[in-house]
Amino acid sequence: MTLVGSNPVALIAVGFALALVVMSWFLFDLRRKWNRMFGRKNADRAEVLSDILQRLAQAEARQTSLEPRVDTLEAIGKVAVQKVGFLRFNPFEHTGGDQSFAVALLDRDDTGIVISSLYTRDGVRVYAKEIRNGASQHQLSAEETKVLEQAINNES
């Protein structure tokens, strides 16, 4: 003969006891979370909730006031230089060092300029070529093509 055995009243009592333990645990857990969120003070709960709602309203007001500024910054960021390619090189054998260079400056849509400077003993020549959507209307040198690809692929 077992304690619970075939006695239905005992089975129901054990079931209620288990349900009471589970519900007590959930209640304890909920109270623990409440105290962590609102503090252990015996402050008026309505006052605490009112304070939270007031802070939420202030945060929403700040967000609303920042939205136009974010829109302006996004518009600036769209056309700002975001991709750069750079290369120093020696185009002529009779000059010393890598005094010449090419640089590509592009925005996020791969639009911008490629600037190249060719150094010779007689002087320096500087060239600028417009880039639209990753392509130029003008013939690019091998170095200019390299820095353009470097910038488009965000390689350093």
C-alpha distances (whole Å) from 147 to each of 62, 95, 113, 119 are 43, 22, 11, 18
Dihedral, 31, 33, 39, 43 alpha carbons, nearest 10: -40
Which one, of 90, 141, 120, lies nearest residue 128 by Cα?
141
> Which residue is associated with the tokens 């959507």?
133
Residues 90-104: what's their mean pLDDT? 82
Q: For residue 43, what pLDDT is reported?
A: 63
Which one, of 112, 86, 113, lies nearest residue 101 by Cα?
86
Q: What percent of the chain shows pLDDT beyond 90?
A: 54
Residues contacting residue 38 through CB under 8 Å, at least 6 positions apart: 45, 48
pLDDT surpasses 70 at 121: yes
32 versus 130: the higher-pLDDT residue is 130
Could you report the per-residue pLDDT of 66-89, keeping only the tens digit for each? 999 999 998 888 889 999 999 999
Q: How confident is residue 61, by pLDDT bands cut at 50, 70 and 90?
A: very high
Q: Which helix (H) or strand (E) holds 147?
A: helix 142-152
120 versus 14: the higher-pLDDT residue is 14
Q: How confident is residue 1, by pLDDT bands cut at 50, 70 and 90?
A: very low
Q: For residue 2, what pLDDT is reported?
A: 55
Q: What does residue 113 show for φ and ψ, rounded to 5 degrees?
A: -140, 155
Domain extents for the chain?
8-77, 83-152
pTM score, whole prediction: 0.58
Q: For residue 99, what pLDDT is reported?
A: 86
Q: Which helix (H) or strand (E) holds 48?
A: helix 45-79
Q: How confident is residue 42, by pLDDT bands cut at 50, 70 and 90?
A: low
d(CA 127, CA 149): 18
The single-letter code of the amino acid at 106 is: L
Mean pLDDT taken over the chain: 86
